[in-house]
Every structure is written in structure tokens, then in C-alpha cells.
Amino acid sequence: MDEQPLILTKRNDGVAIVSINDDPLNRMSLAFIDELEGVIEDIAADDAIRAFVITAEGTTNFSVGMNLKELGSGIAERGGPDAFFDQRINVIGRIETMGKPSVATLFGYCLGGGLELPLGCTFRLAAEEGAQIGLPEMDLGTTPAWGGSARLAKCVGRNHAIDMILRAKKISGPEALRIGLVNEVWPLAELKDRAIALASELATQPRLAVKAMLDTLHDSEDKTLDELLAGERAGVHATMGTADAAEGIMAFLEKRPPVFNQQMD
């Protein structure tokens, strides 16, 4: 019998839907990370994909995080802890910096890597009910290792990050919205559809302009005003004279919605 794939991918026009396929726990095993690495590179290389969703099969949990039983063997196979954890950090970093917007769904347990992966996404949507979101590594006698502490602090600020990490807190979807960890909260039954709808909306935006803004605003809290202005100006130069810029101006003058990315279809 063939083993089931660890990741399911679907296409919806310009949107890729990436789903962890280990329901109900949706663990991030060694093989899963290897597979995810390839999937993300495929998305980055495919110009027809303009946005993507990261979700999970079922409605029980997004992900309980890494399969801890594989930790020792994984470190040995990868040649040490740094190589092991760097692979995970690099995959999440690739999601964050490829220049295509991503939308993550948070429901049920979103713990450890199950939060660190969404923290690399452009948008995070949480379930209104049942979500338990956190970095519980303190309960294991250790610390987050996939960039979770750094990205959480950048996202919600030092005080909220310290509170969550040192107390190994698991917070709800509405609480995650309150502190700025997620962008929207939806009933669980509507969550995945809303994530796909948001990604579809983002996919209709002008590709080069979206990439320019994602590049400019990446780590914007650590950039000077001059650096941000330079990034903005680079975006202007990258989009001037493009088919999308012409379409946007023409649509404005004709008082109709613009239709971008036609040159890619």
C-alpha cells in the first residue's frame, strides 16, 4: 500500500492551497519538512501562482508541531542541531521573503512549529472557537527553535511574547486577534474558505507591486525611514511602465475595476 502524501496541494486559479495531511495531529515530521521545502520552492518558481494558503486537513488541529520522537534521530541525520533547526528556519524564511503573499489558518492546537510556520506567513486567520495557540517549549525544558521567539516578538511586541513564552501560554483565536497575532477571526466552519477567498483577492493584485511592498515592508520595524523610502522608490521604478500600471490608470479613468496580471495568463 502506498503511503499517503504528507502534504496535499491544490490550485485555484492563481492560488496554491498547501495542506498538512496528517489529520488529526498534523505533525511536522522530518519527512514533512523535507516535502514542505520542495513545495515552497515550487510555489516560488511558478509565476502563475500569485498567492498561497497554508492550512491542514480536518478541523481538529492545524498542527501540534514537531514529532518529538524524531528529534534525536533528526539531529543525527542532519549532522547536528544547527543544521537540523536551520532547515526549518530557512523554509519559514523562504515563505516570508519570496515576494508572494501567504495566508495561514490557525485552529485547534497550533503549538511550537504549528505557530512558528504561520508566523512566517503574510496573513494569519484564526478560528473563533477552539484554537489553542502557543509556544509551549518551556514546558519541555527548552526554548523555541524555529524562529518563533523572534517572530512572535516582532509580531506582538516583547511584553506579549515574553508572557506567552515564559508561561507556555496557549491563547484563543479572539485573544490572538486582540494582541495582533492574527489578522482576522472566523467561525471554524468558515475559516478555510475565508483564507482561500483572501488569497484569491491578493492574487488579483498587481504582482510586481505586491512583491515590491512585501520586500519593502519585510522587517520594516528594523529599517530606518531612509531605507523604507528607498524600498518604496525601488517599487515605483519596478512598476512604472508595466502593463499592470497602464491597466490601473486606464481602469481609474474609465471608472471600472482593474484587471491585473493579464500579461501572465
Catalytic sites, residue numbers: 116, 137
Determine the residue type at 233: R
Say whether 110 sits in a helix, a strand or coil: strand
Where does residue 65 fall: left (phi above 0), alpha (psi -120 to 50 degrees), or beta otherwise? left
| Peptide bond connecting 24 to the previous residue in cis, omega within 30 degrees of 0 | yes
Cell numbers of 154, please? 516582532
- Among 14, 45, 8, residue whose Cα is nearest residue 200: 14
Residue 134 to residue 170: CA distance in whole angstroms: 5
Torsion sign (Cα): 239, 245, 248, 252: positive
- Among 164, 43, 52, 60, residue whose Cα is nearest residue 115: 164
